[in-house]
Amino acid sequence: MQNQPTRRGPATRPTTRVNAKTGKTTRSAAAGGRGERDAGGRGQLPPQESDNKTMIYIGAGGAVLLLIIIAAVLSGGGGGGHGRGKDLNASFNKILGKAVAARTAGDYAGALSIVEEVLVDKYKSCDNWSDAHQLAKACRDVLNRERDSVSKVADFKRKVDQAKEDQTAMKQAKDFWKECQDLIVEYGQTSQGDTLRGIREDLRRWVATESQTDWQNDYNTTKARIKRDCLDKGDFSNAVREWKRFGETSSDPLLKSRIDSELLSINNDAVKAAEELIASGAGRAQLEEAVQRFNGTDGQKTLTSKLRSMK
């Protein structure tokens, strides 16, 4: 029996692939030969992956647009199609790869200029025509946002500078702060982001100063009211409550220090008043009625201790 000639699978040529992010090309080694066998040792070529897609993420306006750019072979590679169609696809994908590389490097204007080269009737039949359109749209969105940011931030800065000259900046500080925060949300990732953050730091100081002015204007009025409505009536509990409530109007450390001082003074007065009440010979019923007026102070502890000692 004659030996049958060994049948070989179809030879495959080296292929050239385009990295859609960098625009660089790589060549894969030729497949074939007896060394390439599957796990079962049957001599068959392993299946080659047909999916050579590269994911490109394009951020625009806080949203992330996912484009799938299908890398194709350069001229001489293994791209699909025949004849003129094959050459056209290769040319199209080569240009598209350069556009993607420019966009990845942050050059949106350059990427748009490059990709627009293929957005002509000549390339309409190419496989990745719609991907090129998406890339162009994403680049335009970023460039439009950049243009808008320059205009909007310049307007805002002029408004703030004018308020400084008019000496109304402090009064408008809270409104400016809110507007600045909104602009940072919208344009913080553009070239104007650092300018906005710099303005925000100035506004932070102004808002703190304005808040301090607000509580200082009300401080003496509040102190007089607490003395009249609470302390003069021996109601130390409500006096403590009112000062703590007033302290919630501002986070200014100076206000906190002032209120702590007021509370310390109230506590000392409460202890003194409790001791005087005990020394006056007040009975259990009178002391129990008085305890609630001393809540939140050491005067309450003084009265409670005396009540426990009474039979």
pLDDT at 304: 93
Q: State pLDDT tens for residues 84-107.
A: 667 888 888 899 889 888 888 888
Judge whether 251 and 209 are in contact, CB under 8 Å. Answer: no
CA pair distance 306, 301, nearest whole angstrom: 9
67 membership: H or E segment, kind and range:
strand 63-70
CA pair distance 28, 13, nearest whole angstrom: 9
Q: State pLDDT tens for residues 34-92.
A: 443 343 433 333 333 333 333 333 443 333 333 444 333 333 333 444 556 678 888 88
Q: State pLDDT tens for residues 171-211.
A: 888 889 899 999 999 888 888 989 999 998 888 877 776 66
pLDDT at 213: 63
Given a cut of 90, whether residue 231 has pLDDT beyond it is yes
CA pair distance 216, 86, nearest whole angstrom: 79
Given a cut of 70, whether residue 261 has pLDDT beyond it is yes
CA pair distance 235, 225, nearest whole angstrom: 13
Residue environment code for 151-163, b if the CB has 16+ CB neighbours within 10 A, otherwise e: ebbeebeeebeeb
**Pairing between β-strand 15-18 and β-strand 25-28 as defined by DSSP bridges:** antiparallel
pLDDT at 122: 87
CA pair distance 209, 203, nearest whole angstrom: 10
Sign of CA dihedral 158, 160, 165, 171: positive
Judge whether 302 and 275 are in contact, CB under 8 Å. Answer: yes
Give the bridge partners for 35, in sequence order. Answer: none
Task: Provide mean pLDDT across the span 140-159.
Answer: 91
